[in-house]
Amino acid sequence: MELTDTFGRTINYLRLSVTDRCNMRCVYCMPAEGLPLRSHREILSYEDLLSIARTAVSLGIEKIRVTGGEPLVRKGILGFLAQLAETPGLRQLVLTTNALHLAEMAESLKFAGVQRLNISLDSLKPATFSAITRGADVSRVMAGIDAAERAGFPLKINMVVMNGINDDEILDFVAMTMDRAVTVRFIEYMPAIKATDWESRVVPGDTILERIAERFSFKSEARESLAGPARIFSVDGAAGTFGIISPVTGHFCEECNRIRVTAAGRARSCLFSDREVDLKPFLAIGDDRALAAALRQVVTFKPRRHLLTEAEQQFTPFAMAALGG
């Protein structure tokens, strides 16, 4: 079975948010006071999340990324992941985390069947990291990365590059790939919350590459199957690789293969399109056929491309944590 959108793109990747709560408060993602708290009833149960996963895989989804908010703060997450990993036909189960709880959970995540981890890390400097996350301790994240490596996880480390905030660390992140077998991915800052200064914060992917080229000599690498829209490179002699993800200036959309479901059960075809389908009514009556039809419908909503760079942005500002970044 294959899911294809109106523009001929194959949709085989679902980002499934399990919570909109988080133990960090990254400045580009949510307000200092956090998001308005949703009651437990508003958030999808694990049973509902498993129904969505089974249905999506039966339609052609091959890869599921569990995200949030911070997925590792939800109670019972390990048991849920173990069940999710058993979904018949699912080829890849991966998870995105800020790694604050990873030191103590890495081995259990591996045991549960998670195949790969993406870790968000925007600075190696304690003060900068604390400023970006409004108070988190980078040494806990580094301990999490160490534990995940020991547990045998292939790791991607995602850095959102922000002009004047952490762009002075690009080369330090590339240097990390010299002796660690990780993929560091530089991501353009996106105007999710429509901060007034957002354009001045974006460092274009090509500029990031130029800066890296001033210090390192590197070559292009092939992308793995079911990979996201990153261009991947490796420095000569490095243990790891690095990548550039350019949602703002690049051709992100042509190769987009994903849909997402928020923790509150709303399916969405694109971060930057407000058209959603509420899956909760179908989950409430246990109607798997209607659920499948709803997921197909959301795929038909997928726009050709986002309007991020257009003078007239056509989306409502959102906290990435609420949509499942």
Ligand X SMILES: C[S@@+](CC[C@H](N)C(=O)[O-])C[C@H]1O[C@@H](n2cnc3c(N)ncnc32)[C@H](O)[C@@H]1O
Contacts to ligand SF4 by CB under 6 A? 22, 24-26, 29-30, 68-70, 98, 120, 320-321
- Find the farthest-apart pair of alpha carbons in the chain and give their distance in angstroms, rounded: 59
Give the separation between CA 52 and CA 58, rounded to whole angstroms.
10
Give the separation between CA 318 and CA 322, rounded to whole angstroms.
7
The closest alpha carbon to 323, from 269, 252, 276, 261, belongs to: 261
The site partner of 160 among ligand SF4, ligand X, none (C-beta below 5 to 8 Å per kind) is: ligand X
The one among 55, 87, 97, 246 contacting ligand X by CB under 6 A: 97
Give the separation between CA 176 and CA 184, rounded to whole angstroms.
8
The site partner of 166 among ligand SF4, ligand X, none (C-beta below 5 to 8 Å per kind) is: none
The first and second tokens of residue 88, run together, are: 């018949």
Identify the residue whose tokens are 């499934």.
16
The site partner of 64 among ligand X, ligand SF4, none (C-beta below 5 to 8 Å per kind) is: none
Binding residue count for ligand X, defined by CB under 6 A: 19
Rg (CA), the chain: 19
19 touching ligand X, by CB under 6 A: no
Q: Restricting to residues 218-257, which ones interact with ligand X according to CB under 6 A? A: none
Give the separation between CA 296 and CA 55, rounded to whole angstroms.
10
The site partner of 56 among ligand X, ligand SF4, none (C-beta below 5 to 8 Å per kind) is: none
190 touching ligand X, by CB under 6 A: yes
Q: What's the gap between Cα 22 and its chain centre?
A: 14
The one among 120, 123, 166, 241 contacting ligand X by CB under 6 A: 120
Q: Restricting to residues 54-83, which ones interact with ligand X according to CB under 6 A? A: 67-68, 70
Q: What's the gap between Cα 255 and its chain centre?
A: 16
Q: What is the nearest approach in angstroms of ligand SF4 to the Cβ of residue 251?
A: 24
The contact pattern for ligand X, residues 136-175, with x = CB under 6 A and - = no contact, is ----------------------x-x---------------
Give the separation between CA 244 and CA 205, rounded to whole angstroms.
6
Q: What is the nearest approach in angstroms of ligand X to the Cβ of residue 244?
A: 13
The site partner of 301 among ligand SF4, ligand X, none (C-beta below 5 to 8 Å per kind) is: none
